[in-house]
Amino acid sequence: MAKVALDNELVREFVGAAHADLRKVQALLEQEPGLLHASMNWGGDDWETALGAASHVGRRDIAQWLLAKGARLDLFAAAMLGDLDLVQTTLNNYPQMVHAAGPHGIPLMQHALMGGEQAKGVVEFLRSLTDTEERGNKGMILVENRIEVRAGFGEAVLERFRTPKTVHTFPGFVRMDVLHTTNGEGNEEIRVCTTWEKEADFHAWANSDSFRHAHARRAEAAASAEQAEAQPSSTPAAHSHGAPETGAASDAQNNHPSGEAAAANGPIVGNKVTIYQVVVSHLPEPAAAAPAH
């Protein structure tokens, strides 16, 4: 086990792999056992361990393997794995933890939903403690996914959002807005905002097969992006709006940074998801009726 601080890029690679690639996780941990408890700082007070990564995407196999190796079980992993006794005991003693947020701001309920059938008991328990459904019936929510990419890669990410894919077919979907700017550090910033009739509708989409499949594909796509960028380019840098199509755009659609795509030479710097309650909306006044002639 390492006696000095671990290389940040190695931690990034390990945590990124834990979203989707069990074999890579196993190989990296054999190479450096100290990675087991390592936490990646994605920026903005967003920390993530390999166990945390596996938990919020519902990779039970990766989470259980890490726990068998000695990873430290936390509330979010327990929720995804369906460990109702642990979740109940923790929240009975520390009720405020029901509102705790995990990596990338992903709530405890979402971890439980990603656990599928085996975590249904946890989902029901969490719903009994919160007024999520009641609040959802009272008003809309807006979900913002803030994606930061290196300068010149924005167009590749934006291209992914030119069409809504399948999100617009889900019940409760209201609208989707994609915003683009350049931040103070010179990176491009894209904010994907979806509005839903109620929070339960958003969670239904986030627990859907299409959402899961997008997460399962992102590691492979992100790796392709990193490899593509590593190849010598004949395009002048001044015109490199596109950059690798595979990976950069795919990475942006998902709600966490990938280890491969977020590497030092990759296009994705990081991202963060925030859920807002819509308190009030002001719409234009209806046009005055034209006078009859």
What average pLDDT does the chain have? 80
Tell me how far apart the alpha carbons of residues 77 and 229 are, in angstroms, rounded to a whole number.
34
Tell me how far apart the alpha carbons of residues 228 and 240 are, in angstroms, rounded to a whole number.
13
Tell me how far apart the alpha carbons of residues 231 and 288 are, in angstroms, rounded to a whole number.
60
pLDDT of res. 85: 97
Tell me how far apart the alpha carbons of residues 63 and 55 are, in angstroms, rounded to a whole number.
6
DSSP string, 20-35: T-HHHHHHHHHH-GGG
What does each C-alpha distance from 207 to 125, 170, 241 come to in angstroms?
17, 12, 33
Tell me how far apart the alpha carbons of residues 52 and 13 are, in angstroms, rounded to a whole number.
14
pLDDT of res. 265: 52
The tens digit of pLDDT for each residue in 230-262 reads: 554 433 333 332 333 333 333 333 444 444 334
pLDDT of res. 241: 28
Mean pLDDT of 10-17: 95
Mean pLDDT of 13-18: 96
Percent of the chain exceeding pLDDT 90 equals 53
80: left (phi over 0), alpha (psi -120 to 50) or beta: alpha
Tell me how far apart the alpha carbons of residues 153 and 251 are, in angstroms, rounded to a whole number.
12
Question: Is 242 strand, coil or helix?
Answer: coil
Tell me how far apart the alpha carbons of residues 165 and 156 are, in angstroms, rounded to a whole number.
16
pLDDT of res. 261: 37
**281 pLDDT above the threshold of 70:** yes
The tens digit of pLDDT for each residue in 199-224 reads: 989 988 888 887 776 555 544 444 44
Tell me how far apart the alpha carbons of residues 113 and 109 are, in angstroms, rounded to a whole number.
6
Tell me how far apart the alpha carbons of residues 151 and 158 are, in angstroms, rounded to a whole number.
13
What domains can be seen in the chain, in order of their start residue? 8-130 (1.25.40), 137-234+241-277 (3.30.70.100)
Query: Which residues are CB-contacts of 240 (< 8 A; sequence separation ≥ 6)?
Result: 152, 233
**159 pLDDT above the threshold of 50:** yes
The tens digit of pLDDT for each residue in 77-91 reads: 999 999 999 999 999
pLDDT of res. 95: 92
Select, from the ranges 51-60, 129-138, 200-209, 242-251, the one with the highest average predicted confidence (pLDDT). Answer: 51-60
